[in-house]
Amino acid sequence: MGYGVVLVSGKTLKLLSFGVIHLSKIKDHPDKLKRIFERVDQLILEYKPDVMAIEAPFFGKNVQSMLKLGRAQGVSIAAALNRNIPFEEYAPKKIKQSITGSGNASKEQVAAMLMRLLNMKEMPKYLDATDGLAAAVCHHFQGGIGLHNKTKSGTWKAFMGDNPDRVK
């Protein structure tokens, strides 16, 4: 499972950390969930983020895989909520589109664009790491408007008032 931490200062993005939570050596699924919760909690304590962005569940053919992924996302969200960190979800296609301009971009294309955006020197060993980083960068690019927060104040009237230059 990938993660990424960015610092936003105005319109400037700075990469603080990214990586993966290695789970392959853990046999039992509940132990994997515990490891995810503990590592996300550790990252929150270390970096003290204002918000967490996460990739929303997607629909696939393998129901068991979807269930396991949903549980992993759930414990990640629980770790954030446990520390009073708000979270926002973004659909996988929205993340790819936000980073590369195409909702059908490959992991390699997303990683390459993140390398340019964040001045990274080499391609990461694990592309799952750039998946987590992409969610963080997407959150910045989307202005915090994801699946839970369609507009910052919740109404079209408020959106139009806040963005007169975008209304014709």
User: Which residues are part of a known binding site?
Assistant: 55, 128
Bridge partners of 149, per DSSP, are none
Q: Residue 109: which residues within 8 A CB-CB, separation 6 or more?
A: 96, 100, 102
| Residue of 78, 12, 11, 69 lying closest to 40 (CA atoms) | 78
User: Which residues are part of a known binding site for Mg(2+)?
Assistant: 55, 128
Among 55, 88, 89, 131, the one annotated catalytic? 55
Among 46, 88, 108, 128, the one annotated catalytic? 128
Name the maximum alpha-carbon separation found in the chain.
Answer: 56
In the residue annotation, 128 being an active-site residue is answered as yes
Q: Which residue numbers are catalytic?
A: 55, 128
